[in-house]
Amino acid sequence: MIEIKNLHVSIGERKILDGLNLTVKDGEVAAIMGPNGTGKSTLSYVISGRDGYDVTEGEVLLDGENILGLEPHERAAKGVFLAFQYPVEIPGVATMTFLKAAVNAQRRSRGEEELQTPDFMKLIREASTKLGINMDMLKRALNVGFSGGEKKRMDILQMSLLQPKFGILDETDSGLDIDALRIVSEGVNALRSPNRSFLVITHYQRLLDYIKPDTVHVMAKGKIQKTGGPELALELEKSGYRDYVGEAA
Amino acid sequence: MAARQETVARVEEIDVDAYKYGFTTDIESEKAPKGLSEDIVRFISAKKNEPEWLTEWRLEAYRRWLTMEEPKWARVDYPAIDYQDLYYYSAPKSTPGPKSLDEVDPELLRTYEKLGIPLREQEALAGVEQRKVAVDAVFDSVSVATTFREELSKVGVIFCPISEAVREHPELVRKYLGSVVPVTDNFYATLNSAVFSDGSFVYIPPGVRCPMELSTYFRINEKNTGQFERTLIIADAGSYVSYLEGCTAPKRDENQLHAAVVELVALDDAEIKYSTVQNWYPGDSEGKGGIYNFVTKRGDCRGKNSHISWTQVETGSAVTWKYPSCILRGDNSQGEFYSIAVSNGYQQVDSGTKMIHLGKNTKSRIISKGISAGHSQNTYRGQVSAHRKAEGARNFTNCDSLLIGDKCGAHTVPYLESKNASAVFEHEATTSKISEDQLFYCMQRGLSEEEATALIVNGFVRDVLQKLPMEFAVEAQKLIAVSLEGSVG
């Protein structure tokens, strides 16, 4: 379970999150919708521990433990996973090498034994097949020259290998055509489980047709403005964010 | 802002003191008196029982050297060197030409053991899968052991200390010594010609593919001692050899001078692959101490279809001045230069290559990867030239620089010169920083900052690492990671 309490975040002088509260229970899929520039990506970066954000107040609890003081890789090992809006290219590093390094780094920091190559290969073959990822792609440098859809699928592949407790999807639908969107969504749905929760950040209802949320939160001006069920997303699709933005920003 | 400040803070904490080869060996040595004079040159020559012609050759170099000045064009800065305050000859006392390893001082063997270099052949042979590597170990000025000589001599390969080659194979040495790097070439090469003490000699006879990797490990131990090795490798027609050199030195507060000369000669259809893993002591975190590495390395593709390739992984030395080059004299000959130069702390690197196209349809390829961290300065300096008769000369150059932190510098200085209209030169260069996006992405997946940096850097240098012999590529990869420890922000 993830609990965000009274979170205030600034970048330099600019206040981005202004007392945000949010709880996502185990097994729950929560969607956050909201206009551009409202702090949705900031929220995902602050949870996962990116540098450059000043948290002035509040806490982020993962199963009751405040993770704000931890390094990004420590949070990852505890089960925080972020699927990036723009997955990053790492030239010269074979995707397979990267995946194995990541899986084993997390196992090490949890005090588990590292996976040996045959076991790892078995794991990755199964996971890749499910996502329609060709094994040849795993020999290429990570995300270098991948299409938008391939990059997103690669992120979901990482999520299925790393088996996080809490997965954040940051506008995973951006830049995806309808087929890619379906494959990615199926990948996420396959990972839904009673002890794993998700935070799905999106502008559009479309993604939520594929990944059905339990709860929908409307975010604007650095905090959650309204919380409801899936019907709230449909409502927003009609009325837009006007009611939440207030005066033109 | 926070990220930037932290970067600066981390860079300031860089621990270049983590140099793991910084031990000294307590061993008695025999030295020539300090300073340089004709007498010292004669002393060295006499110690080596050299023939008259070589003594004269040295003296000529010495006289020439007196008229020369240190080059000042490199982007490096260091206090003036007092050449009269150095020892020019130092040898481990008990070992004037040991006949077998049993006669070698055990203290010395332990040194090589610590360095992970197998000198005892049976040990190397014990590992079933392990590929054989013949080793020549040079300690201060003297070669202490050369392994696998018998096995090599069965196919006619000569691999021995150059001092021995002077006595045993004078015709070869006399024919080729100084034929690639002339006595008058440059200040350091000329100094080396006057006082060189030892180094490796390799001759591969026509049509022979050398059955194992040859390798020399250089170790500077003695205080205030200049090390001047001389390496000469001749690949006769249609032969092939792969050669690797490794270098380490103890931690010392004062700077030590290393001025080596390496000459390669490839005759018709011959190929020489020369790899270096250079890890001389780089100095401490304040920039105190470390080796001045002023080295002249040149290969002559003398025959048609000959091929010389230089691969270097440079992580050590306080100051590096080094340009392994190829003279592409034979028609259709090929030269290659693959380089990874890592600098951290206060290291200064000015390194690169020269590809001199003289023959028709000669090709050269340069891939240089510079990584700068800490307060270091890292310069690639490369010259590609095509002479009037170099019809159809081709060069491809790719120079990439990676910066870690914001107190270091990367510089690229290419010189292109073509006197033949049909020559085609391509030059690509990039400078980048390890991006925060890349670091965060890797860390979000569970890698620590240092693991993430090592991974990204290894990706950056991969094309070059692949050129190294397998067993050394792994070593080099580790070395790069160690050199960059604590440099991340």
The predicted-structure confidence for B323-335, as pLDDT tens digits, reads as follows 999 999 999 999 9
- Give the residue among A5, A177, A85 at the shortest CA–CA distance from B440: A85
d(Cα A238, Cα B310) in Å, to the nearest integer? 67
Q: Which of B437, B446, B459 sits opposite A92 (nearest CB)?
A: B459
**3 state SS of A92:** strand
Neighbouring CB atoms inside 10 A of B475's CB total 17
Q: What percent of chain A has pLDDT over 70?
A: 98
d(Cα B325, Cα B427) in Å, to the nearest integer? 17
d(Cα B446, Cα A73) in Å, to the nearest integer? 4
Q: What percent of chain A has pLDDT over 90?
A: 72
Contact call for B446 and A102, based on CB within 8 A = yes
d(Cα B234, Cα B264) in Å, to the nearest integer? 6
Ordered structural domains, chain A, with CATH? 2-245 (3.40.50.300)
Contact call for A73 and B3, based on CB within 8 A = no
d(Cα B293, Cα B68) in Å, to the nearest integer? 19
The DSSP secondary-structure symbol of B451 reads H
Partners of residue A52 in chain B, C-beta under 8 Å: 1-3, 436
Determine contact, residues A85/A175, Cβ cutoff 8 Å.
no
Residues A4-24 have a mean pLDDT of 95
Q: Which residue of A has its CA nearest to B1?
A: A52
Determine contact, residues B29/B164, Cβ cutoff 8 Å.
no
What are the residues whose beta carbons fall under 8 Å from the beta carbon of B104, sequence distance 6 or more? B95, B98, B119, B144, B145
Partners of residue A162 in chain B, C-beta under 8 Å: 445-446
Determine contact, residues B217/B246, Cβ cutoff 8 Å.
yes
End-to-end CA distance of chain B: 12
CA–CA min distance A158, chain B (Å): 8
Convert B186-195 to b/e letters by CB count within 10 Å (16 or more is b).
bbbbbbbbbb
Contact call for B436 and A73, based on CB within 8 A = no
B250 residue type, one letter: P
pLDDT digits (tens, 9 = 90+) for B244-257: 887 666 666 677 88
Determine contact, residues B259/B191, Cβ cutoff 8 Å.
yes
ipTM score here?
0.95
pLDDT digits (tens, 9 = 90+) for B126-181: 433 345 666 777 666 566 666 777 888 899 999 988 988 999 999 999 999 999 99
Judged against a pLDDT cut of 70, whether residue A246 lies above it is answered with no
The residue among A93, A103, A165 with the most chain B CBs within 10 A of its CB, best to mutate, is: A93
d(Cα B197, Cα B260) in Å, to the nearest integer? 10
Contact call for B446 and A76, based on CB within 8 A = yes
Partners of residue B437 in chain A, C-beta under 8 Å: 88
The residue among A48, A74, A88 with the most chain B CBs within 10 A of its CB, best to mutate, is: A88
d(Cα A221, Cα A20) in Å, to the nearest integer? 10
pLDDT digits (tens, 9 = 90+) for A121-162: 999 999 999 888 888 999 999 999 998 889 999 999 999 999
Contact call for B436 and A71, based on CB within 8 A = no
End-to-end CA distance of chain A: 34
Sort strands A65-66 and A54-62 into parallel, antiparallel or unpaired.
Answer: antiparallel
CA angle at B322 for the pair B419 and B410, rounded to the nearest 5°: 90
φ/ψ region of B183 (left if φ > 0, alpha if ψ in -120 to 50, else beta) reads alpha
How far CA A145 is from CA of A88, B86, B235, in Å, comes to 11, 55, 42
Residue B42, Cβ density class (10 Å: 0-12 exposed, 13-18 middle, ≥19 buried): middle
The DSSP secondary-structure symbol of B209 reads B
Q: Average pLDDT over chain B, rounded to whole?
A: 82
Q: Which of B447, B458, B461 sits opposite A73 (nearest CB)?
A: B447
Convert A220-237 to b/e letters by CB count within 10 Å (16 or more is b).
bbbbbbeeeebebbebbe
What are the residues whose beta carbons fall under 8 Å from the beta carbon of A135, sequence distance 6 or more? A125, A128
Mutual angle of helices B449-460 and B436-444, in 10-degree steps? 120
Residue B484, Cβ density class (10 Å: 0-12 exposed, 13-18 middle, ≥19 buried): buried
**3 state SS of B165:** helix
Partners of residue A97 in chain B, C-beta under 8 Å: 455
Partners of residue B442 in chain A, C-beta under 8 Å: 90, 98, 102
d(Cα B82, Cα B60) in Å, to the nearest integer? 21
Determine contact, residues B253/B288, Cβ cutoff 8 Å.
yes
E strand intervals along B68-192 = 90-92, 133-139, 142-146, 158-161
A144 residue type, one letter: V
Contact call for A105 and B462, based on CB within 8 A = no
Q: Cα-flanking dihedrals φ and ψ of residue B432, to 5°?
A: -140, 165
Q: Which of A52, A90, A162 sits opposite B3 (nearest CB)?
A: A52
Dihedral sign (CA B478, B480, B483, B488): negative
- Give the residue among B288, B297, B229 at the shortest CA–CA distance from B78: B288
Convert B133-152 to b/e letters by CB count within 10 Å (16 or more is b).
bbbbbbbbbbbbbbbbeeeb
**Higher per-residue confidence, B469 vs B376:** B376
Neighbouring CB atoms inside 10 A of B85's CB total 11
Judged against a pLDDT cut of 90, whether residue B76 lies above it is answered with no
Q: Which pLDDT score is estimated for B104?
A: 58
**3 state SS of B435:** coil
Q: Which of B6-20, B267-281, B300-314 has the lowest mean pLDDT?
A: B6-20
Judged against a pLDDT cut of 60, whether residue A98 lies above it is answered with yes
CA–CA min distance A14, chain B (Å): 13
pLDDT digits (tens, 9 = 90+) for B287-334: 788 888 899 999 999 999 999 999 988 888 888 999 999 999 999 999
Judged against a pLDDT cut of 50, whether residue B409 lies above it is answered with yes
- Structure token pair of residue B103: 């006669």
Kindly list the residues of chain A whose beta carbon comes within 8 Å of any beta carbon in chain B: 12, 48-52, 54, 71-73, 76-77, 80-82, 84, 87-93, 97-98, 101-103, 105-106, 109, 141, 158, 162
Residues A59-66 have a mean pLDDT of 96
**Higher per-residue confidence, A179 vs B121:** A179
- Structure token pair of residue A203: 């502008």
Q: Cα-flanking dihedrals φ and ψ of residue A78, to 5°?
A: -80, -5
Contact call for A51 and B440, based on CB within 8 A = yes
d(Cα A220, Cα A245) in Å, to the nearest integer? 6
Contact call for A101 and B438, based on CB within 8 A = no
Lookup result for tokens 């005892």: B120
E strand intervals along chain A = 2-11, 14-24, 29-33, 54-62, 65-66, 80-83, 90-94, 141-142, 166-170, 197-202, 215-220, 223-228
Question: In sequence order, what are the beta bridge partners of B142?
Answer: B139
CA–CA min distance A234, chain B (Å): 33
pLDDT digits (tens, 9 = 90+) for A207-239: 999 999 999 999 999 999 999 999 998 888 888
Determine contact, residues A168/A47, Cβ cutoff 8 Å.
yes
Contact call for B449 and A71, based on CB within 8 A = yes
Q: Which residue of A has its CA nearest to B438?
A: A88
Determine which helix (DSSP H) or strand (DSSP E) holds A128, and give its type and residue range: helix A117-130
- Give the residue among B237, B169, B239 at the shortest CA–CA distance from B200: B169
CA–CA min distance A68, chain B (Å): 14
Q: Which pLDDT score is estimated for B96?
A: 45
φ/ψ region of B140 (left if φ > 0, alpha if ψ in -120 to 50, else beta) reads left
pLDDT band at B481 (very low <50, low <70, confident <90, very high): confident
CA–CA min distance A102, chain B (Å): 5
Contact call for B459 and A103, based on CB within 8 A = no
d(Cα A58, Cα B236) in Å, to the nearest integer? 75
- Structure token pair of residue B312: 């270097």
Lookup result for tokens 């990506």: A41
Kindly list the residues of chain B whose beta carbon comes within 8 Å of any beta carbon in chain A: 1-3, 6, 435-438, 440-449, 451-452, 455-456, 458-463
Question: What is the distance of C-alpha A25 from the center of its chain?
Answer: 15
Determine contact, residues A196/A210, Cβ cutoff 8 Å.
no
CA angle at B370 for the pair B437 and B411, rounded to the nearest 5°: 100
